């Protein structure tokens, strides 16, 4: 009986933490979180957002636009991510971004055109047929 009570208490604490997290998320981002049917839809848009200074790479991310749909009953997540930025002091035929290879990409575009990509450990390397010398926009749908 004691083990069942510990498991029940642990589940109640976990569920409480999840509920509190969702309430705080809604409180701070109420214009960006919507409940659609049984699914949650999150919108995130940030300008000039720096993530660990992009690990001192020759790239400056100017804007992230992230649209996420959660389907808890189906255990699925769908996302449409747009990232815009500029290359600093270099010209290149590829862009390297931090992404894990734990999802299925349905569409990847560079400057509005579908393009090839590869995963190298925790990096998404996006290829371009043309030299990228300035600004770019990447769209990843997964």
Do 107 and 40 fall within a single domain?
yes
Q: What is the pLDDT of residue 100?
A: 74
Do 100 and 124 fall within a single domain?
yes
Give per-residue pLDDT as tens, 72-122.
888 888 889 999 999 887 788 888 888 776 778 899 999 999 999 988 878
Which residue range forms the structural domain that includes residue 99? 31-141
pLDDT over 80 (residue 29): no
12 three-state secondary structure = helix
Do 1 and 64 fall within a single domain?
no
Mean pLDDT value of segment 126-135: 87
Do 26 and 37 fall within a single domain?
no
Do 39 and 61 fall within a single domain?
yes
Instruction: Residue 61: count other Cβ atoms within 10 Å of its Cβ.
Output: 19
CATH number at residue 92: 2.60.40
75 three-state secondary structure = coil
Q: What is the pLDDT of residue 53?
A: 43
In the chain, count H helices and then E strands: 1, 10
Give per-residue pLDDT as tens, 31-83.
555 555 555 555 555 544 444 344 446 788 889 888 888 888 888 888 899 99
Do 26 and 86 fall within a single domain?
no
Do 36 and 105 fall within a single domain?
yes
Q: What is the pLDDT of residue 51?
A: 42
To which H or E segment does residue 13 belong? helix 2-28
Do 16 and 40 fall within a single domain?
no
Do 70 and 15 fall within a single domain?
no
Lookup: tokens for 23:
């309430």
- More confidently predicted of 64 and 3: 64
Question: What's the domain count of the chain?
Answer: 2
Do 5 and 41 fall within a single domain?
no
Do 57 and 83 fall within a single domain?
yes
- More confidently predicted of 128 and 89: 128
Do 14 and 71 fall within a single domain?
no
Q: What is the pLDDT of residue 54?
A: 41
Q: What is the pLDDT of residue 138?
A: 94
């Amino acid at each position: 009986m004691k083990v069942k009570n510990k498991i029940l208490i642990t589940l109640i604490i976990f569920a409480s933490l999840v509920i509190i997290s969702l309430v705080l998320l809604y409180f701070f981002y109420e214009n960006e979180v919507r409940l659609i049917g049984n699914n949650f839809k999150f919108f995130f848009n940030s300008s000039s957002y720096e993530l660990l200074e992009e690990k001192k790479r020759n790239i400056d991310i100017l804007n992230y636009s992230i649209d996420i749909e959660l389907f808890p009953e189906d255990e699925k997540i769908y996302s449409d991510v747009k990232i815009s930025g500029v290359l600093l002091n270099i010209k290149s035929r590829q862009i390297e971004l931090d992404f894990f290879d734990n999802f299925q990409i349905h569409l990847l575009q560079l400057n509005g055109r579908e393009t090839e990509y590869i995963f190298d450990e925790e990096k998404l390397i996006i290829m371009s047929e043309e030299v990228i010398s300035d600004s770019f926009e990447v769209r990843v749908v997964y």
